[in-house]
Amino acid sequence: MSTGVILTQLGGPQSLSEVQPFLYNFFTDLIPDNIPVPKPLVKPLAWLISRWRAPYSRELYRSIGGGSPLRAQSEAQARALAVELAARGRQMPVFVAMRNWSPFSRDALRAARDAAVDRLIVVPLYPQYSFSTTRSSLNELRAAMEKLGYAPRTEIVEEYCDDPSFIAALADVTRKYLKSFRAAPKDVHLIFSAHGLPRHYIERGDPYLDQIHRTVAAATAKLEHPGPIYVSFQSKLGPAKWLDPATERLIERLVADGARALCVVPVAFVSEHVETLNEIDIQYAGIAARTPGVEFQRVCTVKCHPRFIRCLADQVERTLRHA
């Protein structure tokens, strides 16, 4: 069989003019799981919310250069994975499918169909499984396959939250930032910040929270950091109760209690988003900066770190062996 790989990711606007239509897609996906409205009202409500939210979101994207780097970094990961697989004797195309912006799932599937691929391995660019990310992307892929009349044999990688190579990449980038602090290692407060979720997802069986803790446990064992370690959650949206503690509230409390060295690790992101480049680098760094003498560093995402690309290739090969 001719085999290909699809990397799934959320997507992001690449220009300010794309922000509102991106938000429309995002809320169309988000509303059914969070707001009890009849199905015919989902799209009108998504349009209204996206119109209301767009001016604020445009300012966020303006602050990071006018658009998201997510597509470029995901496509770089796809190229690096294809090179790694080829080095292992596995020549296969790698496609990127974004859930809420281009290249959409249908675009990736058309490319796979045109390349005569009849077996697809789907690898999420989300190390931890969640209904809101992995499941949503898979549902969109299946719906796009049906619309296209394209039915390749499909195998799914659901998560790799504590894969040794992913953890090695995460620990390596974190270690480099920890070494840059003037403060003694024991005085550096290490904060693993994950994208938050409404608590009702976890109550309905979403494994995300457990897998975040598995990632953090594996990373801290690898790092052997002597200072305090925390897990927190960011990017709350809407009135529902979300996972806590919130990263910004944790930073405020630590600084108020006398912490003078903070290192934030974006534990659920493998590429840079507005959540890292604005929310952490600007908003959370600004909280720390209110107190003179506080050191604040944000660890970069793993992006194309060789050990992370090795992790993705290992997932593909493991799937091929067990299919």
Give dist(CA 30, CA 265) in Å, integer.
26
Give dist(CA 229, CA 220) in Å, integer.
8
| pLDDT at residue 323 greater than cutoff 80 | no
Which residue matches tokens 């660019």?
A: 125
How confident is the model over 94-126, as pLDDT tens digits? 999 999 999 999 999 999 999 999 999 999 999
Nearest in space to 95 (alpha carbons), one of 268, 321, 319, 316: 316
How confident is the model over 239-287, as pLDDT tens digits? 899 999 999 999 999 999 999 999 999 999 999 999 999 999 999 999 9
Is the omega angle on the peptide bond into residue 207 within 30 degrees of 0, that is, cis? no
* Percentage of the chain exceeding pLDDT 70: 100
In the chain, what are the helix, strand and coil shares in percent, each to the nearest 5? 55, 15, 30
Residue 35's pLDDT band, with cuts at 50, 70 and 90, is confident
Give dist(CA 313, CA 7) in Å, integer.
11
What domains can be seen in the chain, in order of their start residue? 164-298 (3.40.50.1400)
Angle subtended at Cα 229 by Cα 172 and Cα 168, rounded to the nearest 5 degrees: 20
Give dist(CA 179, CA 185) in Å, integer.
8
pLDDT value of residue 191: 98
| pLDDT at residue 196 greater than cutoff 80 | yes
DSSP H helical segments within the chain, as ranges? Answer: 19-34, 42-63, 70-87, 105-114, 136-148, 164-178, 199-203, 208-223, 247-256, 274, 285-289, 306-322
